[in-house]
Amino acid sequence: MATPVESPQRPPRPLHEATLWGACALGVLLLAWWVATAIPGLVPPRVLPSPPDVVARFGSLLAEPFSGATLVGHAAVSLQRWGLGVFGALALGLPLGIALAWLPPLRAVVTPVFELLRYIPPFAWVPIAVLWFGASTVTQALIVFIAAFPACIINTQLAVAQVDTILVRAARMLGTRSMTTLGRVVLPVAAPTVFTGVRIAFGNGWMALVGAELVVGKQGLGFLISQGQINDSAATILVGMISIGVLGVLIDAALQRLQRLALPWQPPPARPLE
């Protein structure tokens, strides 16, 4: 009987090739945008300004204050509010998620309240947050916290709960104390899933911040977009939107880099076979 021959597998694409394909996709999008705005009468400039107009507006917002600050100033304010909210969510959500997975009595008490509150959308908290703190940085950081907090708890609890019980029993058979088992065995295994929750929390918080700034902001990228609408400036709106997207990508890339440094034993994600 003939031995079956294994089909050869293509080697994974190198990183620079994937980057090239991504750059090509962005180039096609920019080209389509340029063509759509260059054909007279196809898309009015008031609806969609051309790429050169957006670049020019980007330069002017970097150099001249608009609604109280330059583009860098608005971005810095947004990042400050976002940082306060997400790091507060991490400081409370990660320990609570670990405790809920490790301590069943605590889980029985906290879970019903948490499940009730987490289904309330972050923006539903805006009116009462304004009543409590006014249209302040605290209000917008609180909305970020509310958006980021559930992802921290849920993913951390899931990560700790899914650690193989054989590892936990083996550690305890060797006489390891409960907290030592948690710190030396459970958390290193759970760390990749915890980082995934942190990435989701960061993204949720960033998007919630922009929504809050659209409603109650006096500075920030969301406020910049709302002022662009008031001033009938589509170029200003697009500059704000592009800035939000670029900063979000940079935040996520920095977190992925931190994950690779903190978890050197974790293999890189496998690329799908073709």
pLDDT at position 18, please? 66
Q: Which of 2, 208, 217 is nearest to 122 (CA)?
A: 208
152-165 average pLDDT score: 88
pLDDT at position 13, please? 53
pLDDT at position 1, please? 41
Band (pLDDT 50/70/90 cuts) for residue 14 is low
Residue ranges covered by each domain of the chain: 58-261
CATH number for the segment(s) 58-261: 1.10.3720.10
200-236 pLDDT tens trace: 999 999 999 988 888 887 889 999 999 988 888 889 9
Token pair recorded at residue 93: 């959500």
Long-range contacts: 266-271, Cβ < 8 Å, 24+?
266/191, 266/192, 270/12, 271/12, 271/13
51-62 pLDDT tens trace: 888 899 999 999
pLDDT at position 186, please? 80
Rounded Cα gap, residues 131 and 208, in angstroms = 19
50-77 average pLDDT score: 90
Its pTM stands at: 0.82
Q: What DSSP string describes the chain?
A: -PPPPPPPPPPPPPHHHHHHHHHHHHHHHHHHHHHHHHSTTTS-TTTS--HHHHHHHHHHHHHS-BTTB-HHHHHHHHHHHHHHHHHHHHHHHHHHHHHHHH-HHHHHHHHHHHHHHHTS-GGGGHHHHHHHH-SSHHHHHHHHHHHHHHHHHHHHHHHHHTS-HHHHHHHHHTT--HHHHIIIIIHHHHHHHHHHHHHHHHHHHHHHHHHHHHHH-SSSHHHHHHHHHHTT-HHHHHHHHHHHHHHHHHHHHHHHHHHHHH-TTSPPPPPPP-
